[in-house]
């Protein structure tokens, strides 16, 4: 990268050869490009190089570089920026910006809470770079997406670096890894470039001990930090949940005449999560089907649960006890409104104790002779996704975090299921038929 100043014959040569993955990141033309996965993949260097290149290529372009805190941003980007591009860029402490001679600038921001992100509402940026995107909630990401606009003929792009884990793990994985898009999200707008430490030859040569330290980590942590696996990460609430063990094809569930069925549901207007659960003669639980949908009234939620149960002899439904509270608007409880719907099973308040419930759920997930007591049908996509993404509470390690809130509903319903499970069915064996011994019997026998 070279920049020749007017009236001067000086040049700045920026050293460094991008890796193949970094070059793919530079070449991406997607509106949203995420780069990362494992630790040590050279994400920060690539992000700075890309921003600098965009600022030199487009005079007066406006960029925003964001991290969770300004101290992190200054240590990880501002100081390296000045060290690498000091002859090209100047730093304004008052404006919190990196300024280029051609009028381009990189505003420096931070976002550690929903209150912080509101400062960016109404702002316009041509390029937005979010470092460690999994530290941001999906709500904060959506605010930044709305800031990606302008009237000049410049590209509008957002660049993200990320590692597995954190409050934003679920939405980053959904968009960039699983590519599970919602209405209005265009697949061609999203690109993910995975990077491993093994791709970063400069780091391998400079610090081989760093790689060895990653290789010596406990297996699940090693999978996340070294290999960039998105189904295991630091802070995961259910590290024992393993799709290869706990998830099964629907046709492999051993339905028997002794099966009993019930429903466990967690209701909020933001999400109904209802699970159809079966229990066999040995007390093993099977999540057979699910219905997860947002923006449903209580009546609509009850109709969805009734449809979920149709064709199955469901004995009862357990739900959060707050549904039995009377609503101020109607004077009726949620229980009354839902129970009035035809096909809705008899409702019972669930045992909603949190920590005891999570403990019991862990017991069901634990392996006993390689056979856990809980199996989940592979068609329960939302439950599987949310169990993998659920985080530990910051202050109570035995409790699950309530953030991001969108992934808590299905696990809550499963907690209700294991705490309020019905007793296993008893299958009576057929008594053998035999004639009585007439010599031993009386007339009245």
Strands 90-92 and 97-99: antiparallel
Point out which residues pair with 247 in neighbouring strands: 376
pLDDT value at residue 423? 65
Mean model confidence pLDDT for the chain: 88
- Going by pLDDT thresholds of 50, 70 and 90, the confidence category of residue 445 is very low
* Predicted confidence (pLDDT) at residue 86 exceeds the cutoff of 80: yes
pLDDT tens digits, 330-351: 678 999 999 999 999 999 999 9
pLDDT tens digits, 349-372: 999 999 999 999 999 998 664 678
* Predicted confidence (pLDDT) at residue 177 exceeds the cutoff of 60: yes
* Predicted confidence (pLDDT) at residue 424 exceeds the cutoff of 70: no
* Predicted confidence (pLDDT) at residue 431 exceeds the cutoff of 50: no
Query: What domains can you pick out in the chain, each with its CATH number?
Result: 20-225 (3.40.50.300), 243-419 (3.30.420.280)
For 73, residues 6+ apart whose C-beta sits below 8 A from its C-beta are 65, 66, 67, 108, 109, 110, 131
Residue 256 contacts residue 69 (beta carbons within 8 Å)? no
pLDDT tens digits, 373-393: 999 999 999 999 999 999 999
Strands 127-130 and 157-162: parallel
Q: What's this model's pTM, rounded to 2 decimal places?
A: 0.77
- Going by pLDDT thresholds of 50, 70 and 90, the confidence category of residue 208 is confident
Mean pLDDT of the 325-329 span: 76
pLDDT tens digits, 109-124: 999 988 999 999 889 9
- Going by pLDDT thresholds of 50, 70 and 90, the confidence category of residue 214 is confident
- Please tell me the distance from the alpha carbon of residue 409 to that of residue 383, in angstroms, as a whole number: 9
Point out which residues pair with 105 in neighbouring strands: 62, 99
* Predicted confidence (pLDDT) at residue 13 exceeds the cutoff of 70: no
- Please tell me the distance from the alpha carbon of residue 389 to that of residue 46, in angstroms, as a whole number: 27
**Among 155, 146, 153, 167, residue whose Cα is nearest residue 127:** 155
% residues pLDDT > 90 (the chain): 64
Residue 276 contacts residue 309 (beta carbons within 8 Å)? yes
Strands 285-293 and 271-279: antiparallel
pLDDT value at residue 438? 45
pLDDT tens digits, 16-41: 788 899 999 999 999 999 998 888 88
- Going by pLDDT thresholds of 50, 70 and 90, the confidence category of residue 408 is very high
Mean pLDDT of the 244-268 span: 90
* Predicted confidence (pLDDT) at residue 409 exceeds the cutoff of 50: yes
- Please tell me the distance from the alpha carbon of residue 65 to that of residue 256, in angstroms, as a whole number: 58
The sign of the CA dihedral 362, 368, 370, 375 is negative
For residues 282 and 172, the model is more confident at 172
pLDDT value at residue 15? 66
- Please tell me the distance from the alpha carbon of residue 413 to that of residue 264, in angstroms, as a whole number: 5
* Predicted confidence (pLDDT) at residue 92 exceeds the cutoff of 60: yes
For the chain, the farthest-separated pair of C-alpha atoms sits apart, in whole angstroms, at 128
For residues 165 and 381, the model is more confident at 381
Burial status of residue 205 (CB atoms within 10 A of its CB: 0-12, 13-18, 19 or more): exposed
pLDDT tens digits, 222-252: 888 788 888 888 788 998 898 989 999 999 9
% residues pLDDT > 70 (the chain): 89
Helices marked H in 226-347: 243-246, 298-309, 334-339
- Please tell me the distance from the alpha carbon of residue 12 to that of residue 84, in angstroms, as a whole number: 10
- Please tell me the distance from the alpha carbon of residue 112 to that of residue 123, in angstroms, as a whole number: 18
**Among 389, 382, 411, residue whose Cα is nearest residue 170:** 389
Helices marked H in 231-309: 243-246, 298-309
């Amino acid at each position: 990268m070279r920049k020749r100043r007017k009236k001067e014959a000086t040049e700045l040569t920026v050293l460094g050869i991008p890796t193949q993955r970094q070059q793919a990141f530079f070449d991406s033309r997607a509106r949203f490009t995420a780069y990362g996965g494992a630790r040590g993949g050279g994400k920060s260097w690539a992000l700075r190089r890309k921003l600098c290149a965009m600022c030199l290529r487009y005079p007066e372009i406006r960029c925003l570089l964001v991290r969770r805190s300004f101290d992190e941003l200054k240590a990880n980007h501002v100081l390296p920026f000045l060290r690498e591009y000091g002859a090209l860029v100047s730093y304004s402490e008052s404006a919190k910006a990196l300024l280029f001679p051609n009028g381009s600038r990189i505003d420096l921001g931070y976002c550690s809470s929903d209150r912080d992100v509101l400062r960016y509402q109404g702002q316009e940026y041509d390029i937005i770079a979010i470092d460690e995107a999994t530290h941001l909630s999906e709500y904060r990401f959506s605010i930044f997406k709305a800031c990606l606009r302008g009237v000049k003929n410049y590209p509008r792009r957002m660049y993200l670096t990320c590692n597995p884990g954190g409050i934003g793990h679920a939405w980053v994985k959904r968009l960039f890894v699983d590519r599970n898009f919602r209405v209005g999200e265009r697949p061609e707008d999203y690109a993910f470039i995975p990077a491993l430490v093994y791709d970063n030859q400069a780091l391998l040569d400079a610090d081989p001990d760093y790689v060895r330290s990653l290789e010596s980590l406990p297996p699940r942590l090693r999978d996340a930090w070294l290999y960039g696996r998105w189904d295991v990460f630091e802070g995961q609430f259910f590290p024992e949940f393993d799709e290869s063990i706990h998830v099964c094809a629907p046709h492999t569930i051993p339905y028997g005449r002794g099966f009993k069925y019930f429903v466990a549901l967690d209701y909020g207007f933001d999400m109904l999560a209802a699970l159809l659960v079966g229990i066999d003669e040995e007390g093993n639980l099977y999540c057979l089907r699910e219905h997860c949908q947002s923006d449903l009234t209580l009546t609509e939620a009850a109709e969805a649960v009734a449809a979920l149960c149709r064709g199955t002899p469901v004995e009862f439904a357990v739900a959060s006890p707050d549904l039995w509270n009377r609503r101020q608007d109607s004077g009726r409880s949620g229980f009354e409104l839902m129970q009035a719907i035809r096909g809705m099973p008899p409702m019972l308040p669930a045992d909603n104790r949190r920590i005891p419930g999570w403990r019991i759920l862990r017991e069901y997930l634990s392996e006993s002779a390689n056979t856990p007591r809980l199996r989940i049908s592979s068609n329960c996509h939302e439950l599987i996704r949310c169990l993998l993404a659920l985080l530990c509470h910051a202050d109570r390690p035995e409790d699950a975090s309530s953030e991001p809130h969108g992934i808590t509903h299905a696990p809550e319903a499963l907690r209700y299921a294991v705490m309020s499970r019905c007793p296993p069915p008893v299958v009576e064996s057929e008594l053998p038929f035999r004639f009585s011994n007439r010599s031993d019997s009386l007339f009245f026998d």
